[in-house]
Amino acid sequence: MCPLLYVRGRATGRGMHRRVAKVLVSSSAVILAYPLAGLFGGAITSNARWFAPAQGVTLYIESNGVHTGIVMPKQAAGVDWRSVFPAGDLADSRYAGHDHISVGWGERDFYLHTPTWADLKLSTVLAAAVGSGNTLVHVDHVPRPPPGGELRRLTVRPAEYRRLAAYIQASLVRGGPHHRGYFGYDVFYTARGRYSAIRTCNAWIGDALRFAGIRTGAWTPFPVTVQWWYPRDQ
């Protein structure tokens, strides 16, 4: 009986090894497929007939290498962000004197618990990638960006800017709690929407631009898939 048990045990072990190998191969395939799918989705054009007007509202797409944000004038084309993001929400209200805001969207814990890259934890990244219904809109009060760097510049029509503003406002939980940011000039606002590896902070930026009728990628999970549609600000 002992040899029979040994053979059975060995066979069971081999079966387990095969299952583990299949899981590892499948996981590796998913990990490799995700960036390829993201780049492919970002290369598919949405609003292909759109072109930048000679005059209009000037916007900027900024990136820190992980997150992208839309930099917009506080007052333009009938949109006034001062009542939506008031000075009193800032730790230092003097920054409200800046004439632009930068807006982004993302997962709550990732935003609040990662003030610097040194604070980044694998558990936070994995939890966000799996999916979270707790999201925030991040708003910085900033001056008009100077030319240069990695900023991408685009000019949009007034009607397009109003649609973009409507999308951003629809992402806010109006009257919801807000959190002071990392510095005196930024604030986090409670947002709508579910964050996941499919709908990332950068995908939200692409969704907003697509809703406004501006040319962008069909799916923009990475900063590069948002920015490569627009020229550098020289």
Please write the tens of the pLDDT for every residue from 109-160. 888 877 665 665 666 666 667 778 999 999 999 999 988 777 999 999 999 9
pLDDT at site 1: 38
Residue 30: pLDDT over 70: no
Q: What is the 3-state secondary structure (H, E, C) of 167-201?
A: HHHHCECCCCCEEECCCCCEEEEEECCCECCCCCH
**144-155: pLDDT as tens digits:** 998 877 799 999
Please give the torsion angle defined by the CA atoms of residues 93, 145, 217 and 121, in that order, rounded to the nearest 10 degrees: -60
Q: Which is it for the CA torsion 205, 210, 216, 222, positive or negative? A: positive
Mean model confidence pLDDT for the chain: 85
Least confident of 29-33, 70-74, 161-165, 203-207: 29-33
Beta strand pairing call for 75-76 and 79-80: antiparallel
The CA-atom distances, in angstroms, between 201 and each of 22, 141, 146, 194, 219 are 32, 19, 24, 10, 12
Report d(CA 111, CA 138) in Å as an integer. Answer: 8
> Looking at residues 6-22, what average pLDDT do you find?
42
Share of the chain above pLDDT 90, in %: 68
DSSP run (H or E) holding 26: helix 2-43
SS3 82: coil
pLDDT at site 130: 75
> Looking at residues 28-38, what average pLDDT do you find?
73
pLDDT at site 208: 98
Please give the torsion angle defined by the CA atoms of residues 180, 178, 106 and 219, in that order, rounded to the nearest 10 degrees: -130
- The answer to whether the CB of 156 falls within 8 A of the CB of 77 is no
pLDDT at site 119: 62
Pick from 138, 137, 105: nearest CA to 207: 105
- The answer to whether the CB of 137 falls within 8 A of the CB of 188 is yes
Question: Residue 16 — pLDDT band, cuts 50, 70, 90?
Answer: very low
| pTM beyond 0.95, yes or no | no
Amino acid at 168: I
Residue 212: pLDDT over 90: yes
Pick from 195, 147, 151: nearest CA to 171: 195
Residue 78: pLDDT over 70: yes
Report d(CA 234, CA 232) in Å as an integer. Answer: 6
